[in-house]
Structure 1
Amino acid sequence: MQKSFKDSAREELLGVLPKKREEIVAFLSALAKSCGSIEIAKKRYNLCFWLADYDEGLKVVELLKTLYPADFELSLDKTKTGAEACSVQVPSGFSKQAIEDFGLMKINVDEYLAFVEGIPQDVVTTIATKVAYFKGLFLGCGSVYVPSTSDQSEKRDGYHFELQLDDDLFADDVMELLSDLRINTRMSDRGEHKLVYVKDKDEIVKVLATLDLADCVLKLRSIIDERETANSLNRVIICETANLDKTFTAASKHLLAIGELRNKDMFDSLPAQLKETADARADHPEASLSELAEILGVSKSCLNHRLRKIVEMANLN
């Protein structure tokens, strides 16, 4: 079974993760805010990340090791919803530093004062760190869906990108951050969560490009072009079908009138021009009015007048 577009995007993201320290901090800060948890036990704080699979967990550990010289525990566990996930546990000896570095809590000496609401602004001071933060959000709480193609496992009709966030302030900050990256978003509610989303296909192309997902950009452009070509062909077919319907409707009315005149023994007594027109229509039932006028060598308005006369005679007599 082929990967969904969402899974392909997440997989490609793992190959374009940040390398500079400040960008790694921004990425992990977003990841912690969107899919992390802080466990408190006996005044000790332990930071844990919850990822979709083991490969994502390994990549997160690689980034953490660039900041903290420690061994990190990876394990496959069940989330609160019952779904399987890979957890990455930051050792308790480094959790305090990580919580502080990622701007998750306000800390005074050894005292944890409060959780930081929204995006910690000191970790997103440049465009590069904002892009890194966006990458962390996408891996932690993002989804992207595109219309189904023959090689996709999911059945989707529209274009949709979303980030599922926990509160209004965080969602507002995320919208502002994406605006700084020239991405236009909207917000809506889903249960207890806030969704920051994009539905415009060209805007989603911009989203994927901002995330450095070159392969996904090319794939989405291909899907868009394929669908637009198909839609253009459908419009032509619909237009041609509508024109054919009009032709058949008009021809049917003419043929019924001609048949009625024959049934009433009036056909042979028609004026020569009307009889010629009736014979031409009977011989070319599929012809449009323009085509029939050309066959008879008369103008379209003249032909219309003759055909109306035939219909009127059939109805009046």
Structure 2
Amino acid sequence: MSFSSDVKDELSRQVSLGRHCQIAEIAAIISLCGRVIISIEDKYCIKVHTENVAVARKYFTLIKKTFNINTEISIRRNVYLKKSRTYSILIKGHEDSKRVLNACKLIHNDEIKENMSIINNLVIQNSCCKRAFIRGAFLAAGSLSDPEKFYHFEIVCANKNKAQQLQEIMKAFDIDAKIVRRKKYYIVYIKEAAQIVQILNVMEAHVALMNLENVRILKEMRNSVNRQVNCETANINKTVSAAVKQIDDIKYIKKHMGFEGLSEGLGEVARIRFEYPEATLKELGALLNPPVGKSGVNHRLRKLSNLAQELREFDKEEKL
């Protein structure tokens, strides 16, 4: 199972105690993956489609527990994708359908709005109901990437109004979700790991939250170690490059003027650097008599480098 499926499976087994929260969750599921079928006689029935058995189970349980309505379930296998199944849950009776739609505020004056959005905020007035609505929306049309790869949470909405409504509900929990259009759909998405942890907490997916936090900690530790290794590697490369240049400069000085022409301090540093090409500045300083600190050794090596540069320029002028 994918990480997203694990989250949905966890949420599907959680049923709110309050009837108002149950209605809020049903409203989200019908709004995002349901439709109302109207017969020639103007009779209603509600049909919810999902490819996730956990979502089908949760919706079936909610309808039975909240309204004591028996639903019809059908399973359809995709002939092209052998493992893919579609679950349809049907509320067949007209009066039962109207009762659910009225309770979920998806109908007004016996008229169903085309976009199936919640007509007013009564169904999500309480904080607990907002949590339930977000939970239902994710079950109906949400997905969450594997945090081992990258962080991405999204809920697919059929139109802009639904997306904006969902975005506003999330803002009540200080979650800054964004909206982007993808083909004919509007996607409400979150990319920051901390915000995804927060939305999992809002939906009360506590097991998934802990699993994601564990992955975050491991990734942060891995990144920290990588940064440290990269930093140390860069320092080693820098030290080796500097040492190679210093050896080249000292060889040039030895060849063109010898160490005898150097002051005692510079001559001693030149000889020791030549003898110990892999030593650090601190180690070079300890080998001097008397010992010298890193800054002192670095100062003398810079003087040798400047002297080598002057000799090279002098040789160029002589050749001209």
Q: Same fold (TM over 0.5)?
A: yes
Paired residue for 1:62? 61
Q: Does the 8 Å CA contact 1:27/1:135 hold for their aligned counterparts? A: yes
Structure 1 pair 116–102 and aligned structure 2 pair: CA distance change class (3 A): farther
Distance 1:191 1:308 in 2: 63
Query: 2:124 maps to which residue?
Result: 124
Does residue 311 (structure 1) correspond to residue 305 (structure 2)? The answer is yes
> AA paired with 1:311?
S
Whole-angstrom distance in 2 between the partners of 1:311 and 1:179: 62
Give 3-state SS (helix, strand or coil) of 2:234's partner: helix
Partner of 1:15: 13
Mark the CA change 1:304 to 1:20 in structure 2 (over 3 Å): closer, same or farther: closer
What amino acid is the match of 1:129?
A: C
Question: Can you list the C-alpha shifts for 1:22-81, whole angstroms capped at 9, x where unaligned?
Answer: 2111111100001112222322322111122334322321221123444322122268x9
Structure 1: how far apart are the matches of 2:300 and 2:235? 21
| Maintained 8 Å contact 2:51/2:86 | yes
Aligned position for 1:153: none
Is the 2:179–2:186 Cα contact (8 Å) retained in structure 1?
Answer: yes
In structure 2, the CA distance between the partners of 1:46 and 1:260, relative to structure 1 (3 Å rule), is same
After superposition, residues 82-121 of structure 1 pair within 5 angstroms as 84-93=85-94, 94-108=96-110, 112=111, 114-115=113-114, 118-120=117-119, 121=121
Q: How many residues align?
A: 303
SS in 1 for 2:292: coil
Q: How far apart in 2 are the matches of 1:49 and 1:113?
A: 16
- Calculate percent identity across the aligned residue pairs: 28
Indicate yes or no: 2:242 matched with 1:250.
yes
Query: Take 2:151 and 2:69, find their aligned partners in 1: how far apart are those partners?
Result: 42
Structure 2 CA distance for partners of 1:59 and 1:299, relative to 1, 3 Å = closer
1:39 aligned residue: 37
Identify the residue that residue 229 of structure 1 maps to in structure 2.
221
Note the residue ranges of structure 1 that are not aligned, 5 or more in a row.
Answer: 149-155
Q: Give a deviation string over 1:219-270, Cα, whole Å, max 9, x none.
A: 1111111111122222222222222122111100111223334555835665
Contact kept, 8 Å, 1:118 with 1:171, in 2: the verdict is no
- AA aligned to 2:145 is Y
Which protein is richer in helix relative to its size? 2
Flag structure 2 segments of 5+ consecutive residues without an equivalent. 316-320
CA drift of 1:116 comes to 6.4
* Contact 1:105-1:116 at 8 Å conserved across structures: no
CA apart distance, 1:208: 0.6
Aligned AA for 2:6? S
Aligned pair in 2 of structure 1 residues 20, 291: CA closer, same or farther (>3 Å)?
A: same
CA contact (8 A) 1:27 1:134 kept: yes
Kindly indicate whether the alpha-carbon contact (under 8 Å) linking 2:50 and 2:56 is maintained by their aligned counterparts in 1.
yes
Q: Which amino acid in the other structure matches residue 90 of structure 1?
A: I
Q: Does 1:140 align with 2:132?
A: no
Secondary structure at the residue paired with 1:187? strand
**Pairwise CA distance, 1:307:** 2.2
Q: Please state how far the C-alpha of 1:283 moved relative to its aligned partner.
A: 3.0
State the distance in 1 between where 2:267 and 2:60 align. Answer: 90
Partner SS, residue 19 of structure 1: coil
Q: Find the aligned partners of 2:236 and 2:109 in 1 and give their Cα distance.
A: 76
Inter-partner Cα distance in structure 1 for 2:295 and 2:60: 81
CA distance in 2, matches of 1:260, 1:147: 56
Shift of 1:301: 4.3
Residue identity matched to 1:91: K
SS of residue matched to 2:274? helix
Matches within 5 A, 1:270-309: 270-296=262-288, 297-309=291-303
Letter in 2 for 1:266: G
Match of 2:318 in 1: none
What TM-score results when the alignment is normalised by the length of structure 1?
Answer: 0.85
Q: TM-score, normalised by structure 2?
A: 0.84
When the two chains are superposed, the root-mean-square deviation of aligned CA atoms in Å is 2.5
